[in-house]
Structure 1
Amino acid sequence: MSGLLRLVPDEPEPVHDLAAPPARHRPRWAADPIDDLAEELAEVCATAVHPDEIAAVLEADGLTGEQITERYGRRDAFELAAELHARIPRSHPEPAPVPDPWKVKPGPFALRSLVFTLPGFGYALGRPLMTGAPDRLGLPPGTGALVASALVAWAWNQALAHRAYLRLAAGGRAAAGRCLRLGAPAGAALATGAALAVPATGGAVAFAAGQALYLASATVLLVLGRERLLLLALVPTATGGAVVLATRPPAPVGIALLLATAGGALFAAAYETVRTQRAEQGPSAPLPPLHASVPYGLFGLGCGVLTTLAALGDTIAGHGHGHGHGAGAAVIALTLSMGAAEWLLYRCRGRALTALAATTRPAALLLRAARVLAGCVAGYLAALTALTLATGALWPDGPSPTVPRVAALLSLGAVLWTGLLLQAYGTAWIPALLCLAAAAAESAALALRAGTPATGQLLICTGAAAALLTVATVLLGRITTHR
């Protein structure tokens, strides 16, 4: 028997911690109950930033200290939570993708581009109404009355549209219709009064009055989302414009087409505002005071002056007919680009939300916002450049826009687009004041004959665009902006 025995060296006696509770002894083949608990709480443990989060879950499940000691051989919930936190690696799942609330199709914006541009043919059809010798600025007779009426209409209708959209959001179509029924006729009357205040022939004043009625009606239809009705009303003018590209139609025909467009738009606007009376009244919500719409009107006035100077500046300065033709083609391109501008405003807001969701630090959000803004501005300017070159190639009886004119137009486009973006985020006074300042500076430069109009516009609008882009970058880089 002794030959079968093996001598085992003496082992030291184990040292017991008298302060610790006696651990449960289990056979080596028995499963560790903590493994089962870790599997049960795997998701909680993987996403926990601190063991105390796991301890809170254990206590919420009703585990007492005695149960934890008996079942798992640990002092308390905190010790057990610390072991679970150490066993399971961190795994923070990405949040589920959120649908982009600003995702829209480009089709409706292409339609809006048409309704912004087609009225330009009306000036060619209404040329017989502008009879007489050019005025002292070298402009066709009656141009001053048309410009005064248009500027007042742009300013008023911008403010009116802002107010109507507020009422649409707060009280539905019925509230927006009441606002438009009062505001649109008042705007048309003010614009007609502005035309009467400028010396002009009766035909020019009548043309300005028709322009005021059309712009008021178009504002109503655009706010109520009836772009297709407005496009239908523009069919006569568009048809006349197609004829003008080939030959000059008889004066009565052109005037009849203008009356058909103005009358159709007026009838459609009146019909739609009457329909809003039957719309269900939405829940009433508090509205900002009336003066909150003032900066939107001032922005419209500033943009109107800048656009007018882009179209007529060369003629006023006497720098040659060819430049004037190029400016006209450039302004047509600018109006055509407004649909792309609106679509890119939606894209910018959607991409800014995506940047916010992917960012964890304020500095990173600012950088991402700058990239989003730069990409959208570049996209708009690329579209504007393509449209300018296309309209210049198709423009009758004149050369394509010159390089300085295209550069000046791009700077103006950047001002308009960035100003609209800031307005979309509720920042209205800064773009309004900057656009008015740019318009005043360009007017002064033109009056003082300080360089060519294109050079003045390029320098002034570039400075205004840089200021607006800086403000927009800071605004988009704030988390609170996107709430």
Structure 2
Amino acid sequence: MSGPLRLLPGTGDTAQEHAARRRFPAGWPDNTTDGHAGHAGPHTPDSLPTLTPRRRRPSWAEDPFDELAERLADVCGAAVHPDEIAAVLESDGLTQEQITGRYGRRDLFEVAEELYERVPRRFPDPEPPPDPWRTSPWRCVLRGAVFGLPGLAYVLGAGLLASGTGAIAGLAASALVAWAWNQGLAHRAYVRLASGGRRAAARSLRVGAPVGALGAMAAGLLLSGPGTMAAFAAGQALYLAAGTVLLVLGRERDLLLALAPTVAGAASLLLWDPGPLAVTALLLVTVAAAVLLAAREIVRSGRTESTAGPGNGPPVAASLPYALFGLAAGSLTLMAASADGPAVVVLTLSMGVAEWLLYRYRSLGLAALRHSTTPRGFQLRAGRALLLCLAGYLAVLAAPTLIRGVSPGPLLALGAVLWTALLLQAFGTAWPPAAVCLAAAAGAALGPAAVRPLVCGCAAAALVLISYALLGRATAHR
């Protein structure tokens, strides 16, 4: 025999003798000393031979079966049935000659059964998949700069803006129309980008961006009348339409390049007054560069291959709540600017941090799914992630306000409204945040200025509760 017998001295129907009969059935030679070494006849239970003590294996001797069990420890520990181990052994090319000659077993299934019994069960957790929501903070910072730097145009062109209620109303109306239209257009273009690629998104932007710009220019002209204010509103409308195109198609650097003349002009105000002619030229260069870069990107994207299926994309009504949210958010922002302009600058510049925290919450939601074993446990983890991200964003807003020595309450209330509304929209829940923000904008517009922080605070509390209820379900994070 080539395989050693792991038997202990003794008589009777012991476990070792059971193992011996299982390994060496009738007809196989055994190493017993019944006076007939090599006797091939079967033994009955009443006439079992007396087993001769075997010499202890030297420490330097190796058991091939031990080596096999160690090599396949991971496979055997994770198996739920011996047949899984047998399949692995067969795929490794284990032959019958090796089974009987090297390992001293009868067949493949006996080897698999013994390996299954010898190796304890252990089922390691699978490696976590890569986090799809991990994004670069620097990209979000860049987008935040792109969101905030256009405000320098108002600083640079302050000398060109006419005074008067009608002129300011025209500029505000143009901005509100542009914000509302571009929010809805961006949603539709993003959906087309995800379903049909850049070509499908460019097709939506090629039609929607000019229409929105014309509507915003018409609103400004209607309320301001012909003149400098209407021209400024037209440039604002063109820039916002072009900026929407470049942001949807991921060309933040191009938009930053277009803003360079305005940024340089605003910086020059710290040293000298460039004069109305130079200011007008710088603003026109910014608008023209943004429009040309957007047009070039639409043409480039239109030449790519489309992966869109049959149909014309989502219905227009699906983008309506996003447009209404843009209208409400713009109204709340303009009302806050009338009370504290620098606070709105802080709010605008913080949009990059807000976007990064949206990604961060999605990442924490996936981690909560992996570590939760009950629906209640997941809801608590998702709620903690919501409060953590919201508190981080409010801390970013509060720091500059406290440095300035003013009350942070109004800005924090408005920031909480906007961030939680954007969070719900990121999960495809559009109507609840749109309805709450519209109600808050209406209440703030109709009531006195003193109640606006209270209105925003109530809206923020409502949105936080809605977010906790909706995003505390595991199905929302699929």
TM-score by length of 1: 0.76
8 Å CA contact 1:44, 1:54 repeated in 2: no
Relative to structure 1, is the Cα distance of residues 129 and 362 closer, same or farther in structure 2, using a 3 angstrom cutoff?
Answer: same
Do the aligned residues in 1 keep the contact of 2:76 with 2:85 (CA within 8 Å)? no
How far is 1:156 from its partner? 0.4
Residues 355 and 201 of structure 1: CA distance in aligned 2, closer, same or farther (over 3 Å): same
Pick one of 148, 159, 163 that aligns with 1:117. 148
Aligned twin of 2:41? none
Which residue is 2:127 aligned to?
Answer: 96
For 2:129, give the aligned amino acid.
Answer: V
Q: State the match for 2:429 in structure 1.
A: 427
- Cα deviation, residue 459, structure 1: 1.8
Q: For residues 105 and 464 of structure 2, what CA distance do their matches in structure 1 show?
A: 62
Q: After superposing the two structures, state which structure 1 stretch, 247-256 or 458-467, moved more.
A: 247-256
Across the aligned residues of Structure 1 and Structure 2, the Cα RMSD in angstroms comes to 3.7
Task: Report Cα offsets for 1:267-301 as digits up to 9, x if no partner.
Answer: 21122212223x32122236322211111111111
Residue in structure 2 matched with residue 457 of structure 1 by the alignment: 452
5 Å matches for 1:341-360?
341-360=354-373
Call closer, same or farther: CA 1:345–1:24 in 2, change over 3 Å. closer
Alignment of 1:1-400 (within 5 A): 29=54, 42-43=73-74, 46-47=77-78, 53-54=81-82, 89-132=120-163, 134-135=164-165, 142-200=167-225, 202-245=227-270, 248-277=273-302, 279-285=303-309, 287-312=313-338, 314=339, 327-389=340-402, 392=404, 400=405
Where structure 1 has 5 or more consecutive residues not aligned to the other structure, the ranges are 1-12, 16-21, 63-70, 136-140, 315-326, 393-399
- Equivalent residue, structure 1, for 2:34: none
TM-aligned CA distance change 1:180 to 1:14, over 3 Å: closer
**Structure 1 partner of 2:462:** 467
Q: d(CA) in 1 for partners of 2:454 and 2:362?
A: 29
Return the letter of the residue paired with 2:239: Y
Question: Which AA in structure 2 matches 1:297?
Answer: A
Structure with larger Rg: 2
Percent sequence identity is: 51
Q: Contact 1:33 / 1:72 at 8 angstroms: preserved in 2? A: no
Shift of 1:245: 4.4
1:425: how far off? 1.3
- Residues 60, 466 of structure 1: CA spacing in aligned structure 2 closer, same or farther, 3 A cutoff? same
Q: CA deviation at 1:462?
A: 2.0
1:473 counterpart SS class: helix
* SS of match in other structure, 1:91: coil
Q: Which amino acid aligns with 2:314?
A: P
Number of aligned residue pairs: give it: 424
Indicate the SS of the match to 1:142: helix
Shift of 1:60: 11
Give unmatched runs, 5+ long, in structure 2. 1-11, 15-20, 25-29, 32-52, 58-62, 91-103
- Native 8 Å contact 1:34 1:72 kept in 2: no
The residue identity in structure 2 corresponding to 1:434 is V
One-letter code of the match for 1:113? G
Distance 1:351 1:338 in 2: 20
User: Contact 2:144–2:349 at 8 Å: present in 1 too?
Assistant: yes
| 1:90 to partner: Cα distance | 4.1
Query: Any idea what the Cα deviations from partners look like across 1:26-73, whole Å, max 9, x if unmatched?
Result: 98759999999977875466446x7xx4578779999xxxxxxxx999
